[in-house]
Structure 1
Amino acid sequence: MKKKKIITAENRSRRSFLKNSLAIAAGFYIIPRHVLGGRGFIAPSDRLIVAGIGAGGKGESDLNEFFKSGKADIAFLCDVDDRQAAKSRERFPKAKYYKDFREMLEKEGKNFDAVSVSTPDHNHAIQAMAAMQMGKHVYVQKPLTHDIYEARMLTEAALKYKVVTQMGNQGSSGDGVRQLMEWYNAGVIGHVHDVHVWTDRPVWPQGIAWPAKTAPAPSEIDWNLWLGTAPQKDYVENIAPFNWRGWWDYGTGALGDMGCHLIEAPFRVLGLGYPTEAACSVSSYYTGPFRRGYFPESAPAASHVTLKFNDKKGKDHINMHWMDGGIQPERPDELGANEQMGDGGNGVIFVGTKGKMMCDTYGANARLLPLSRNKEVKTRLTIARVPGGANGHYKQWVEACIAGYNSKEANNLSSPFSIAGPLTETVLMGNLAIRSYDVRKIKPNGAAGFDYPGRGIKLLWDGPNMKITNFDDANQFVKRTYREGWALGK
């Protein structure tokens, strides 16, 4: 039986060269491809072969969206939890299934073009980096990484390995953020000096002690592979597939979960770079007789983080206020009593010298305040929209991968790592402040109680060098130590 040749990224460029050469030679005698292949025909060289690391939950919906683009084939699936992978395996029965992403990459690397990563945050970086080192295009769910150092390494790797990249913050492809940019660029609200961002997350346990009672891992989960880079710990009930988000070993808390969806709008509209300062307060640690205790393994139940940035011209400062756990900013006077702030639980408000504007999660539903201004203010459409808006985020990446690294499609992506990396670093800088807030030290000479050296101080951040310059204890959270046997390539 003749073996079918698989079209990969490597031989696609060769086919394209030959196709273009033949077309030039044929002159006016070219026959349209749709005539040869029938209406709707897509040549093999114009399809993307995708491998999915993380096939359940968000990974399942990501893979479905790639397939719905009409130009992607889901050829390989990988998940450490057979229960999570069940629906994707049923949806794509021809896709070969693996539990260990390293085995899949080693055995099948020549047979696919791109990798989708949708796993717990602590394993994003090693999985995406391994794929990029093989020359594979990558789509990685938000947040891009667990640590600031990892985000910087992936950003640099995308340039080094010349692969097409996209983070899964689909709102970056929406119309809302582009409308906000057009208003701001036109000077409608003047110079923005403060931004308020809030979310109703967490909707999972946070601000609690690590469970004392362990349990056998379900037979469907390879617990060692699930842990990956994280420290060795016994399984506890309900940690997977959802509640890992509240534990620092695996997740990035409410800020990491929603920050890339909400902070993306001000980050792009205002052209922000690295923050220069960070300060915070958190709700997990009460003083007095009713205090809940000290839970360093868990993100807090609620937090308020303030990040300071220099504006584009480096002359003025912009303060970004992040609030989670149900904390919300003061309601703008320009908003009517029965008019909803953000989408209720989440939102962003830009405060400028000439007015205010607001949006929901994903930068959606952009509007000026008061709402009557939306009928009065007219601006030209100056920024191209993504076909399909936020829903077009997936197809945009698929088409860019097919077109290639230096293509127009790749250069116009909404959230390539060149943007997503610095955005993720900004989000994780907030977490660095949160984790530094309650760094404890036993008082000298055996005195009772603790020192709280992180409380009440402002962290000064050297973004290019990834270093807190005034409180060295905070730098332990910039880059974590992986479990033995796991390493991040470069």
Structure 2
Amino acid sequence: MSEKSIEPTGLSRRDFLKTSSLAAAGFMIVPRYVLGGKGYVAPSDRLRIAAIGVGGKGQSDIASFAATNRADIAFLCDVDRNRAAASVAAFPKAKFYEDWRELFDKQSRNFDAVSVATPDHNHAISTLAAMQLGKHVYVQKPLTHDIYEARLLTEAVKKYKVVTQMGNQGASNDGVRQLMEWYDEDIIGKVHTVYCWTDRPVWPQGIPWPVAKASVPEHLNWDLWLGTAPYKGYIEKLVPFNWRGWWDYGTGALGDMGCHLLHAPFKVLGLQYAKDVQASVGTVYVDEFKQGYFPESCPPSSHVTLTFPKTDKTEGDVTVHWMDGGIQPVRPDELGANEVFGDGGNGSLFVGTKGKMIASTYGADAKLLPTSRTSEVKVKQKIRRVPGQAEGHYAQWVEACIAGYGKTELSAPFSESGPLTEALLMANLAIRGHDIRRVNANGGFTYPGRGLKLLWDNANMRVTNFEDVNQFVRRQYRSGWNIGTI
């Protein structure tokens, strides 16, 4: 990985991308023992990262990369200078950009990998562009905003052969591996039902789009923040956090917590793509008797049921229940009256033919039920643990990037996090189907998606029995922001 700074001149974008990809293919990693003694880290053994989105979670992400002592934060990119200020101060040698497209055009030869921590709607476009440049990528959860994007990035790995990791750090926790070992040793029999629940959202949902106009703050590039989303005027309190509750930008409670809670069932049971989904959602009222209708906003609560086909680890189909907004499953009889269910607000419950097991957020604090069995049942540790667990998630990706594609194991590569993301986004199809309405003969409204089980054609990525929701499988991108193909 060359440390020499070379900027392209006199090249078209297409020629530049082609040239930089060929140059990247010729780079070599020089073993550290050639250049120095024990403990010496050669420049070519370090990963140069360009970070897109460096406030909030992005700030903590790049700090964790730097803490590995194997990575350099080479470039910073953010549309909000106030949010980026702490990272700019922490990495004064990193050149700052507002627009990741300009960063890629001017500096693509001077970094090896990209970290993406933008709002959900802009994940896929910058990630795919980085992959097309031959850059390794670390992307915050959920991997994408749309099902089409998740499938696109999953397939892109096969073509561009870069190291990928999604930022659901709990995927590297010991708890997930403990659950896998118990299950593989047949401690609870064959699982047929899973419940996952969260107390999210902790931001406004089920509300109308504000009508009050507001001025764009000087420190925020609003057009770049919108990116792929339809153009709308700026509103107060959307940035930096409450965008999660609006479909144009976020993916609701499922997008925020689904990857953290559904990862364990996917790993334990070998789940891939769901075959059907149905949902019920909480309603809001504008006065004592009138229900609100706010299709731009995610609902305040939901209960979604997904059916996954039989895998090598199950005897038949698996039913997965997702609950948010504070809804929880019935407490299992085997759990003591004063014992915490999950972590109180979040958790997962596996129901098998011979027993049950539970975990909290991120698959942590894994327990057999009754909980006394947790210490009584002994199984051999067969699955390698990730040193540092959640923090090790970052180091794992850094080391994998330095080693090269396919050389080391990862906890959340796109080959796994892509299908996981698709499942939670498929659940959102059922949730959004609740707000689709039609005018009836009397001038009133009908809601044909409510109570409907959506049947999924996985090969063609479409719902076969309710065409209305297929518009959400692949949304329309704003002019100038099309994601393209691989």
TM-score scaled by length of structure 2: 0.93
The offset of 1:438, in angstroms, is 2.3
Does the 8 A contact of 2:386 with 2:392 survive in 1? yes
Does the 8 A contact of 2:456 with 2:464 survive in 1? yes
- CA shift digits 1:47-73 (9 cap, x unpaired): 000000001000000000000011000
Identify if the C-alpha distance between structure 1 residues 288 and 79 changes in structure 2 by more than 3 Å, giving closer, same or farther. closer
The offset of 1:374, in angstroms, is 1.1
Question: Which region of structure 1 is more displaced relative to structure 2, 5-14 or 107-116?
Answer: 5-14
| Structure 1: gaps spanning 5 or more residues | 21-31
Counterpart position of 2:395: 395
Counterpart position of 1:427: 424
Counterpart position of 1:49: 48
The offset of 1:12, in angstroms, is 7.9
- CA shift digits 1:439-459 (9 cap, x unpaired): 101113xx2310111011111
Which of 448, 456, 460 pairs up with 1:453? 448
Amino acid at match of 1:164: V
Is the counterpart of residue 91 in structure 1 residue 90 in structure 2?
Answer: yes
- CA shift digits 1:319-348 (9 cap, x unpaired): 111000011110111111111000011000
Counterpart position of 2:435: 438
Identify if the C-alpha distance between structure 1 residues 73 and 288 changes in structure 2 by more than 3 Å, giving closer, same or farther. closer
The offset of 1:462, in angstroms, is 1.3
The offset of 1:207, in angstroms, is 0.4
The offset of 1:315, in angstroms, is 5.4
Q: Secondary structure at the match of 1:357?
A: strand
Amino acid at match of 1:433: A
- CA shift digits 1:449-485 (9 cap, x unpaired): 1011101111111122211111111111111000111
Q: What is the distance in 2 between the residues matched to 1:464 and 1:127? A: 25
Equivalent runs, 1:363-378 vs 2, <5 Å: 363-378=363-378
Does the 8 A contact of 2:165 with 2:412 survive in 1? yes
Counterpart position of 1:172: 171
Q: What is the distance in 1 between the residues matched to 2:258 and 2:196? A: 9
Q: What is the distance in 1 between the residues matched to 2:398 and 2:203? A: 32
Q: Secondary structure at the match of 1:217?
A: coil
Identify if the C-alpha distance between structure 1 residues 487 and 255 changes in structure 2 by more than 3 Å, giving closer, same or farther. same
Q: What is the distance in 2 between the residues matched to 1:87 and 1:338? A: 43
Counterpart position of 2:14: none
The offset of 1:287, in angstroms, is 11
Is the counterpart of residue 125 in structure 1 residue 120 in structure 2?
Answer: no
Q: What is the distance in 2 between the residues matched to 1:275 and 1:149? A: 15
Equivalent runs, 1:145-224 vs 2, <5 Å: 145-224=144-223
Q: What is the distance in 2 between the residues matched to 1:116 and 1:289? A: 47
Does the 8 A contact of 2:3 with 2:110 survive in 1? no
Counterpart position of 2:17: none
Q: Secondary structure at the match of 2:399?
A: helix
Does the 8 A contact of 1:281 with 1:304 survive in 2? yes
- CA shift digits 1:282-319 (9 cap, x unpaired): 01256995334100000000000000111215851211
Counterpart position of 1:347: 347
Is the counterpart of residue 142 in structure 1 residue 141 in structure 2?
Answer: yes
Question: Which region of structure 1 is more displaced relative to structure 2, 153-162 or 239-248?
Answer: 153-162
Amino acid at match of 1:159: K
Amino acid at match of 2:345: G
Does the 8 A contact of 2:24 with 2:134 survive in 1? no
Q: Secondary structure at the match of 1:138?
A: strand
Does the 8 A contact of 1:270 with 1:311 survive in 2? no
Equivalent runs, 1:21-420 vs 2, <5 Å: 33=33, 37=36, 39-285=38-284, 289-313=288-312, 316-407=316-407, 409=408, 412-420=409-417
Amino acid at match of 1:217: V
The offset of 1:9, in angstroms, is 9.5
Q: What is the distance in 1 between the residues matched to 2:357 and 2:480? A: 49
The offset of 1:376, in angstroms, is 1.8
Q: Secondary structure at the match of 1:155?
A: helix
Q: What is the distance in 1 between the residues matched to 2:272 and 2:3? A: 49
- CA shift digits 1:211-268 (9 cap, x unpaired): 0112011110000000001011000001000000000000000111100000000011
Counterpart position of 2:11: none
Does the 8 A contact of 1:9 with 1:112 survive in 2? no
Q: Secondary structure at the match of 1:263?
A: helix
Is the counterpart of residue 469 in structure 1 residue 464 in structure 2?
Answer: yes
Q: What is the distance in 2 between the residues matched to 1:456 and 1:422? A: 25
Q: What is the distance in 1 between the residues matched to 2:449 and 2:100? A: 39
Does the 8 A contact of 1:360 with 1:366 survive in 2? yes
Q: What is the distance in 1 between the residues matched to 2:39 and 2:347? A: 41
Q: What is the distance in 2 between the residues matched to 1:51 and 1:293? A: 43
Amino acid at match of 1:432: L
Q: Secondary structure at the match of 1:196?
A: strand
The offset of 1:191, in angstroms, is 0.9
Amino acid at match of 2:206: G
Which of 466, 471, 478 pairs up with 2:473? 478
TM-score scaled by length of structure 1: 0.92
Does the 8 A contact of 2:116 with 2:123 survive in 1? yes
Does the 8 A contact of 2:3 with 2:43 survive in 1? no
- CA shift digits 1:383-435 (9 cap, x unpaired): 1111111210000000000001131x1xx111110001000000101101100
Query: How many corresponding residue pairs?
Result: 470
Amino acid at match of 1:262: L
Amino acid at match of 2:4: K
Q: What is the distance in 1 between the residues matched to 2:374 and 2:3? A: 58
- CA shift digits 1:118-175 (9 cap, x unpaired): 0000000001011111111000000000000000001111111111100000111111
